[in-house]
Structures are given as structure tokens and as C-alpha cells.
A and B are shown apart, each in its own frame.
Chain A
Amino acid sequence: MKQYDAIVIGGGHNGLVTAAYLARAGKSVLVLERRPRVGGAAVTEEIFPGFKFTMFSYVVSLLRPEIIRDLDLPRHGLHILPLESTVTPMENGDYFAAWGDHDETRRELYRHSPRDAEAYDEYGRLMHFMAQAVKPILGMVPPDPTSFAPSDLIGLLKLGKHFRGLGTERLHALVKLMTMSSADFLDEWFETDVLKATKSASGIIGTFLGPRSPGTAYVLLHHYMGELDGVFRAWGFAKGGTGAVSESIASAARSFGAEIKCDAGVSKVLVRNGRATGVVLENGDELRAKTVVSSLDPRRTFLQLLETDALPSEFVADIKRFKFRGSSGKVNLALDALPSFTCMPGIGRQHRGAFSISPSLEYVERAYDDAKYGEFSRRPYMDIVFPSMIDPGMAPPGKHVMSIFVQYAPYKLNGGWTDAKREAFGDAVVNTVESFAPGFKSKILHRQVITPLDIERITGLSEGNIFAGELALHQLFFLRPAPGWAKFATPVRGFYQAGSGTHPGGGIMGASGRLAAMRILKDGV
């Protein structure tokens, strides 16, 4: 029987990145994907004839530039088109718009508040610096502060030095960003409610927190770190949808010699004498490898693929405690024509950017209140894009696809998710959009509603958490996914973790997959 150097479980973007880096280093690598296509939560599927939906993850901003470079992804079909603007319709019929052109955004903001227009530049500079300051940490293996090993002590010292090198103002800003709520943080800068609501909305994505919950300012920064071609804060849309990102990484991995097998779900990792020796597929086949890497989330990786008696009990308790609490849903629509929004009537350049349904802080906070007590938001926060406006190949000529990211939809809904509840959730989404864009409903040709339970069923992400584990302060860095085990190794020798549930986690970033591959290569496969 063939023995691979490495088997990677899960063909999501992180698993593919790990595989590509290992194959690039000359290792024989096999990727096993349960679904018929690679991509995990970054897939594009033709659910309705002629209309391509970016099923789950829909924007690209965090993909690490070194990965794009190392794997030469543009040659493998990666082409990112910029999303140029964000328009927030307000409940009084006005709007707030942030355009690709900085000066235009400033003029728009001036209309709402001259003071905020002044503060906007300074704020932008600070966030830019902060993102720069935190970026090296994303590419670093977290040192373990409980360990006395020299490498950890050196790591901690380096980290300390890095932070002290930031200078007073930025260091304090970093502490604030790590601990404050996005609403409080923005209150220190701005007075325009709709601006704060729209900015703070990016601090709640994927969390089970509201804009007034401490800890959300960090997610705000996490999203600020998006970097495309070295340009900060650029959000983009991949030509062909996010599935094309996965396809390009898969193509790169194959070009380095990796094998990728779809329809090959793994049921167990084989462990002998405390060492991983291979995997068992759902169909019973056994495959051998010197190293096994799981890019699934921590719960599946440790509580499902392994027998828990292979693991220390304290570690199992930590993994069981790791929080998922999926809070987002997705509604994908096939449209006969684009909707016209009351605040900015007609069809125009605004449709090439995003629409953010976040008219006020109170609106977003109330959406969270519903979810806190186990209901989906009656009037949810939504981030809407029209992929077919950016990439016409996504829909038949003249028709459009509309991607609506929705929060909040709790995984643990009161009474549980049923087909009827899913449709009621879809109705709440569509009716809320209708209130900002009358006539929109009549343009819908087909509707796909995805609840957190659906995300879990389809992609395997536990509780439908899009970050494979909440990006909460106590689940980051050396605590992600568990204290003492944040360096991609696991208590089972030869078994590694590489998914978004490890540092730094979240978004189509690939950093976890890359760091895991580095670690595996360093340990020597």
C-alpha cells in the first residue's frame, strides 16, 4: 500500500494551502475532501441553472499576499476584482456612502458631520498603523506563556519588544482595540450614528456579540487587515466567486504534485502507539501516511476524528469548552433585474459595491438582542453584494445574482431549525430588503436560504461558525484552540491541525494553513 508523506483531511482553503506548501517542499501529499468539490466554505455552485452562487464566504480581503506570491496563484486563475463602495441606506431615506475614492468619501462624510470628516483621516491612519502592527503576529507561531522552554521565552520577549516598538499612542490603541466594544471605540472618534453602525458592523461578523459587546473592536481590526496587492482595506471579489480562490489553490497544489480526492470523507484518524499512521475513509478504505493533518475545526478534529482516550483529559475539556455559536446565515438570490434602493434610486455604480443594512447602532444592537434569546433577527444586519455586477459570468446576460450575508441567525434557535423556520428567516431577510428597496421582491427568480445548521450540514463547520470557532479574545493566539496546543501540533505525534480554528483563524486568509505547513516541515515529515 502506498504511504504518503502527508494526508490532509479537508479540502477547504486552509487544507489546500497546507497541501500546496508541503507538495512544494517535495513531499507526497494527498488531500481528502468529503464533498464532490474542493473549497469547503469557499465554493461557487450553480444552484439554479445559469446562476452561480458564492454559497457561503463571498468576499476576499484577508488572503495573505505571501501565499498568493509563493503559490503563484494568479497563474492558477486567481483574479480579484475590487469591491468599490459601501452604501448604507438609512431609515429616513438618506444614505451614507463610502466610495473607493478617498476624497469622495470625505466629502460624503462632511455632509453628515464636518467633525467626523476631519477625524476620518486620522482614524484611517491609526487603523492602518494598527493593522501593520498586528500583521506580523498573524504570521507568527504563538509563544506559550506557560512554558519555560527557551523558544517560548524568546518568542515572548520578541513579542514584548515588538509591542514596545510600536510607541505609546499605538500601544494604547492596541489595548483598546483588544478590549473595547466596537461601538465604544468608534464613539471616541465619531458622532455620525450611521457611520458608526456601518463600521461597527464589520466588528460583529461571525461573532455572537453585538456592537456594544466588548471584544468586537478586535474583529473590526481583523477585518481592517484585508490586504490585496499590498493595498490595505481593499475588499475584493474573486472572478468566478470564492470557489475560484479554492480552485486556484488546488491547481497550485496539483502543479506541485499533490493529489486531491473528492467524495472521500474521513471517518477516523488511525493512531498506533500514540502516533498517527493514516486515516480510515467513510467507505472503510484505509490510507497510510507518515503525517496526518486535519483542516477541520477543533471540535471535529479532536472529538470526532480521534478517540478521545488518545488525548489528555484536560485538553479534551478545553476543546469541549471552545466556543462556536454560529450566528450568521446567508441568502442567495437569482434576480430578474437589479433592485433600486429608495435612498439612491436607479441602477448605477452603487451596485458594484456593497449595501450594508446597518442604518443605526440601535438597529444592529436590537438585531443582536433577538439572537441573544434564541430568535433570528426580525430586522437583521445584512451585507449585500451583486457578484454578477462585478463578474458578469456569474449570471445569464441581463440577470443577476445577489449575495446577502445575514446576522443574526443563532445556531441554537428556540425550538430548533425546521424548514418552516428557515423560510420564515428567508422572509425576514427579503422583507427587510424590500423596506429599503420597494419592488425588490417581485424580481426574485430563485431563493436559497442558508441557516447556521445548513452551514454545518454542508461544510462541516461546527454550529455553522464561519470562523471555525469564535474570534473572541479568550480564543485567540496561544489559546486557539487550546492553551498549550496553539502551535499546530497536537497531543498525538504525527497529527497536526491546520484549519481556521488555529491561530490566527478566520476569513479566507490561509495563514493557519501556511503556518501549519511550516511547522510540519520544520518537524521533518
Chain B
Amino acid sequence: MKYDAIVIGAGANGLVTAHYLARAGKRVLIVEQHQAADPSADIGWVPDAIIRDLGLSGAGLRIETPDPWITAPLPAGGTLELSRDIGRSVEAIRRISPADAAKWPEFCERMRTLASVLERLYLVPPPDIESTDVRELARIAGLGLYVRRRGKQTVIDLARILPMSIAELLDDWFESDVLKGLLGALGIWHLKQGPRSGGTAFNFLHHHAGSAAGVFRPARSNVTQALSTLAGVDIRRGARATVLAKNGKATGVVLDSGETIPAPHVVSSAPPRATLQPLAIELYPDFARAVSNIRARGVVARGTLTLEQAPAYSTFCIAPSLDYLERAYDDIKYGKDSSAPYVEVQRTDGRVEVHVQFVPPGTHDALADRVAQILNVRPNQLVLQPAAESLYHGELTLDQILFMRPVPGWSRYRTPIEGLYLCGSGTHPGGGIPGAAGRNAAREIL
């Protein structure tokens, strides 16, 4: 069979791209290096447009809405539990700080408004600020107008808050260390930054996108699994594909078995650097340098916790203060894993997943012991795998988003190799929003 397009990677973005292309009548093959799908839950907002377009509700998509959405231990004993209902959270916060409780509803509303601006930006390709095309300029003006219609405060908040550190943002609003710690953790989520680093307020808002007001943890779902059940594309599992190109044009892929599969379009959901470095991109020196400069440093160890019985909480967060998170970051600045890391445990679909930050790539002898001690479990109940590279294929820092993602000037899912496209987390809008990059890429390819 002759394919119109080959998609590398059967993760959420690869699958979404493939199915959008297939819906437009293209013959599509997906090549995935792993045999079985990763059983861990997909983390992040699944945009409604994708659910609707691809009919995911009928494909068994489940989006979890745990309530309370987070539980954090209090230094004096007991826990702080925040609920989806803002009023109930206010009651819970009142027990530790009446002042913070009073501010909670307004904080939730302001953050929701800002996240909604990001949501709007995320479902379309990034604005091309250098374009001279009238339609693109009109689109940018439309985005600008959309923001301004949300009120003067929103414009000011966007300009002030996006470059801020999450610590400054939270210090402006709250006094409780526990509350600031559990919120601040979202600001450094998958980032090699501490809560006092500029841009972490943006990372916080990025991960608030798609969540209801007052819920500051990304949704968890089985979206990849649901996408895998859809018909309409061919999938080859257990084969690792490398892009083939000739005379600056993509010609197909070659598998590790040596087999080549020709196709005029190749779309990769793998990390941009891994996709591009085997190719002769040194012919495009500026592009090659930009690709080698992508920062995608691994800082998280993920894994599972085996418990005799399912825990009572949905998400248990150990980030007792902003200073705790900052000190955890200090260690990795000098190449060490955090002596007291940020640990979060999530119950999902009969599994208990663990997120430990900061952990540099490599092996770590005492890591499981240390985390086990923090969680008060036995080390053999824990399996942890430090990530070699950022889960997001590129850290979500202000210089690596929008028209700067994956590399400046190449944010429209294209590459200097004709017919080769990117559609993974390394492209706009980045990780934590399964399928959004895939959908934008497919629409751009079509």
C-alpha cells in the first residue's frame, strides 16, 4: 500500500495528527517504537474540539474529575483538601488562614480568565509576528482584540504575570506556606526552575489551561488509549523509524530492520532534536544551531507506588512551602538530585503514580529510599525512573513558547526539509495538552 503520510510515534499527538489527516482522505501509517502503549495516565487538558472532531466520547475516553483534587499534609497534623467547589475550598483554607480563604475566589477567577486566553492561543498555530500576509495580520489583530475585550485588568495581568515568578505571584495573594507550596509546585512542574525563577507563573497558567476555576492540577485521562481504538489509520508497533530525505525533501522512513517505507509526507511526534539530528540539517546552519540549543533537560523521576489498598486521596502533594521547592531546585542547579524533593502521588485507574522533582538523568542509588521515607512506605513499594529528557520535548520557558517553539522562526510545524513536519510536544502549544499540537500540525499540513 502506498501512504500519503507516515506519522512517527503513536502518542496522543501522533495519533491525533494521523486521524485528522485520515479524516481528510489521506492514507496514513503510524510507526511506533514500543510494542505496548505506556499505561501511565495522560496528563493535561484534552481540548473539546478534538473530542468532538474525532468522536472520542464514543471511543471510551474517560477524563477524571477527582474531588477533592488535592490533599496536602499540614505541619501541625491533619491535611488541607481543596475541592472543585470553590466554596468548600474556602472553608478548608479558612482553617489555616482566614485571609487566604477570603482571597481564594478572586484568585481562582483571575487565573481562570488568564488561562482562557492561553486556551484560545493554544488551539491555533502560534501568531507569526513577522508575517506581512493580510490574513495573518488580521488574525493577530483579532487575538489582540480578544484579549482587550476581556478587560483592562486582563491585559495588565498578562503583561505583569507571565514573566513573573510563581513565588512573587503567590506572595502577592497568600500567606499560607502549605497553600503556596501546593500551588507553586505547578509553576515548576517539569521545569528546571525554582519557584523564584521568572516565567514560572506562566508555567502555572499553562497547566491551568482546560481546568475548571479553582482546580490547579491538569486533568488526567486515557486519551491515548481511546485514540488507539479509533479505526482509519494503520499502526506498526515495535519498529523504530528514522526519517529519510533526499535533496532537501522527505522521501519516507527507514525502520531499524532496514525496511524503507516511502511517503511524500513524514510527520514526527518525537522530540525535534531526535527527529532532526540524523538529517543533514547542518546545511541550514542557523536552524541546526537553534535545534541544538533546545533546552529539554530531564528533571523528573516518574514511577509507581504499590499499596495494599487504594489510597483515600486522589492526589497527595508534598511541597510544604515555596522555600522547600526552591531548596529542592538548588540541588539540581549543581547537578545533584534534591535532598528533599517535591513528591506528588496520584491515584489513577487502579494505579498509583508518583512524580518526583528534581532528579537529574542517570541512576540514583538512594532515591527510592529517600522518597519512601518521605511517603512513609517501604522502598520496595516504589519503582522510579528518572527522565533522560523533558517529557515535553522542550521546557516550557518563555523563550521556548509560541513562535519560538520548537525553534525560533519554525513554529508552523514545518522544517527546512520539504515534506517533513513536526507534531509533538516540542511544538506549539507544548506538553501537558495532549493532542493540541497534533491537531494544529494536521491542520497546517492540510
Spell out A's residues near B (CB within 8 Å): 145-146, 163-164, 168-169, 171-172, 175-176, 178-181, 184, 188, 209, 212-215, 321, 323, 362, 365, 369, 372-373, 472-474, 478-479, 483-484
* Residue in A179, A365, A372, A484 whose beta carbon sits within 8 Å of that of B199 in the complex: A179
- A213 and B197: CB pair below 8 A? yes
| Chain A interface mostly | helix
Roughly how many angstroms separate A188 CA and B400 CA in the complex, as a whole number? Answer: 13
Contact with A along B166-198 (1 / 0, CB 8 A): 001000100000000000000000000100111
Q: Which residues of B contact A146 (CB under 8 A)?
A: 148, 152, 155-156
Taking a contact as CB atoms under 8 Å apart, the answer to whether B160 and A215 are in contact is no
User: What 20 additional pairs, Cβ within 8 angstroms, besides A175-B399, A178-B163, A181-B197?
Assistant: A146-B148, A146-B152, A164-B130, A172-B408, A175-B398, A175-B404, A179-B397, A212-B197, A214-B199, A214-B397, A214-B399, A215-B198, A362-B334, A365-B333, A369-B330, A372-B196, A372-B326, A373-B323, A472-B163, A474-B164
Measured between beta carbons, the chain A residues less than 8 angstroms from B295 are 184
Choose from B161, B168, B399 the contact partner of A323 (Cβ within 8 Å). Answer: B168
Interface residues of B (CB under 8 A from A): 129-130, 148, 152, 155-156, 159-161, 163-164, 168, 172, 193, 196-199, 286, 289, 293, 295, 323, 326, 330, 333-334, 397-399, 404, 408-409
Report chain B residues within 8 Å CB of A472. 163-164, 198
CB distance A175 to B199 under 8 Å?
Answer: no
Distance A179 CA – B397 CA, assembled complex (angstroms): 8
Instruction: Assess whether A483 is in contact with B399, with CB atoms less than 8 Å apart.
Output: no
Given contact pairs A215-B163, A473-B198, A175 touches B172 in the complex (Cβ within 8 A): no
Most-contacted residue by chain B among A213, A214, A373 (CB, 10 A): A214
| 22 residue pairs bridging A and B, Cβ less than 8 Å apart | A145-B155, A146-B156, A164-B129, A168-B130, A168-B408, A169-B286, A178-B163, A178-B398, A180-B397, A180-B398, A180-B399, A184-B399, A213-B198, A214-B193, A214-B199, A372-B196, A373-B323, A472-B164, A474-B159, A479-B156, A479-B159, A484-B156
Pairs A-B, 4 closest by C-beta atoms: A172-B408, A179-B398, A473-B163, A214-B198
Bound together, the chains give a CA A212 to CA B297 distance in angstroms of 14
- Among B199, B330, B399, residue most surrounded by chain A Cβ atoms (within 10 Å): B399
**Nearest chain A CB to B1 CB, angstrom units:** 41
Contact A172 B404 (CB under 8 A): yes
The CA of A60 and the CA of B141, in the complex, are separated in Å by: 42
**Contact among A213, A365, A474 with B196 in the assembled complex (CB-CB below 8 Å):** A213
Select one of B172, B197, B198, B333 contacting A321, CB under 8 A: B172
Known A146-B155, A168-B130, A373-B323: A176·B399 in contact at CB below 8 Å: yes
Are B199 and A145 in touch, CB under 8 angstroms? no
The docked-state distance in angstroms from the alpha carbon of A352 to that of B404 is 42
Task: Write out the residue numbers on chain A whose beta carbons fall within 8 Å of the beta carbon of B129.
Answer: 163-164, 171
Q: Does A478 lie within 8 Å of B159, measured CB to CB?
A: yes
Contacts of B159 in A (CB 8 A): 145, 474, 478-479, 483
Q: Which residue of A lies closest to B335 (CB)?
A: A362
Q: Collect the chain B residues with CB atoms within 8 Å of residue A369's CB.
A: 330
Smallest distance from the beta carbon of A395 to chain B beta carbons, Å? 41
A184 to chain B, nearest CB (A): 7
Closest chain A CB from B368 CB (angstroms):
27
In the bound assembly, the distance between CA atoms of A474 and B148 in angstroms comes to: 19
- Tell me the complex Cα distance, A484–B152, Å: 10
Given the contacts A214-B199, A321-B172, A369-B330, A171 and B161 also touching, CB distance less than 8 Å: no
Residues from chain B with a CB closer than 8 A to the CB of A209 are 198
CB proximity of B166 to chain A, nearest CB, Å = 12
The answer to whether B160 and A479 touch across the interface, beta carbons within 8 angstroms, is: yes
Does the CB pair B397–A172 fall under 8 Å?
no
Of the listed residues B172, B198, B330, the one surrounded by the most CB atoms of chain A closer than 10 A to its CB is B198
**Which residues of chain A are near B409, meaning CB under 8 Å?**
168, 172
B408 proximity list for chain A (CB < 8 A): 168, 172, 175-176
Docked-complex contact B156 and A214, CB < 8 angstroms: no
CB-CB < 8 A to B172: which residues of A? Answer: 321
Q: Determine which of A179, A212, A213 lies in contact with B399 in the assembled complex, contact meaning CB atoms within 8 Å.
A: A179
Q: How far is the CA of A146 from the CA of B172 in the complex (A)?
A: 22
Nearest chain-A residue to B193 (Cβ)?
A214
Q: A188-B293, A323-B168, A369-B330 are in contact. Are A214 and B155 (CB under 8 A)?
A: no
A130 → chain B closest CB, angstroms: 14
Nearest B residue to A176, CB-CB: B399
How far is it, in angstroms, between the C-alpha of A291 and the C-alpha of B196 when the chains are bound? 41
Question: Which residue of A209, A323, A483 has the most chain B CB atoms within 10 A of its CB atom?
Answer: A483
B65 to chain A, nearest CB (A): 33
Measured in the bound complex, the distance between the Cα atoms of B157 and A182 in whole Å is 25
Determine if B197 and A214 form an interchain contact, defined as CB atoms under 8 angstroms apart.
Answer: yes
Q: Bound state CA distance, A473 and B202, in angstroms?
A: 13
A473 contacts across to B, CB distance below 8 A? 163, 198
Q: Which residues of B contact A215 (CB under 8 A)?
A: 163, 198-199
For B196, the chain A residues whose CB sits under 8 A away are: 213, 372
Q: Bound complex: CA of A146 vs CA of B198, how far in Å?
A: 23
User: Whole-angstrom distance from the CB of A371 to the nearest CB of chain B?
Assistant: 11
* A427 smallest CB distance to B (angstroms): 25
Contact residues in A for B148 (Cβ distance below 8 Å): 146
Residues of A within 8 Å of B164, CB to CB, are: 472, 474
Q: Judge whether B404 and A474 touch: CB under 8 Å.
A: no
Docked pose: A213 CA to B198 CA in angstroms: 7
A187 CB to nearest chain B CB (Å): 8
Residues of B within 8 A of A373 (CB): 323
Please determine whether A214 and B130 come into contact, CB atoms closer than 8 angstroms: no
A28–B397 alpha-carbon span in the complex (Å):
51
A residues within 8 A CB of B156? 146, 479, 483-484
Least distance between B126 CB and chain A CB atoms (Å): 12
A474-B333 in contact (CB<8A): no
Which residues of A have CB within 8 Å of B293? 188
How far is the CB of A478 from the nearest CB of chain B, in Å? 7
Task: For A164, list chain B residues within 8 Å (CB).
Answer: 129-130
Minimal Cβ-Cβ distance residue in A for B409: A168
A188-B293, A369-B330 known; A474 and B160 CB under 8 Å? Answer: yes
A172 to B399, CA, bound (A): 9
In the bound complex, what is the Cα–Cα distance between A209 and B193 (angstroms)?
A: 12
The answer to whether B130 and A171 touch across the interface, beta carbons within 8 angstroms, is yes
Q: Which residue of A lies closest to B168 (CB)?
A: A323
Cα distance A48–B398 in the bound complex, in angstroms: 49
Q: Can you name the residue of chain A whose Cβ is closest to the Cβ of B132? A: A164
Verify A179–B163 contact, CB threshold 8 A: yes
A315 to chain B, nearest CB (A): 12
* B279 to A: closest C-beta gap in Å: 21
Residues of A within 8 A of B163 (CB): 178-179, 214-215, 472-474
Q: Give the residue of B161, B197, B286, B330 whose beta carbon is less than 8 angstroms from that of A474.
A: B161
Most B-side CB within 10 Å, residue of A180, A321, A362, A478: A180
In the bound complex, what is the Cα–Cα distance between A372 and B293 (angstroms)?
29
Query: Which residues of chain B have C-beta atoms less than 8 A from A321's C-beta?
Result: 172
Contacts of B198 in A (CB 8 A): 179, 209, 213-215, 472-473
- Tell me the minimal C-beta distance from A32 to chain B in angstroms: 33
Chain A minimum-CB-distance residue to B154: A146
Known: A214-B398, A362-B334. A483 touches B326 (CB 8 A): no
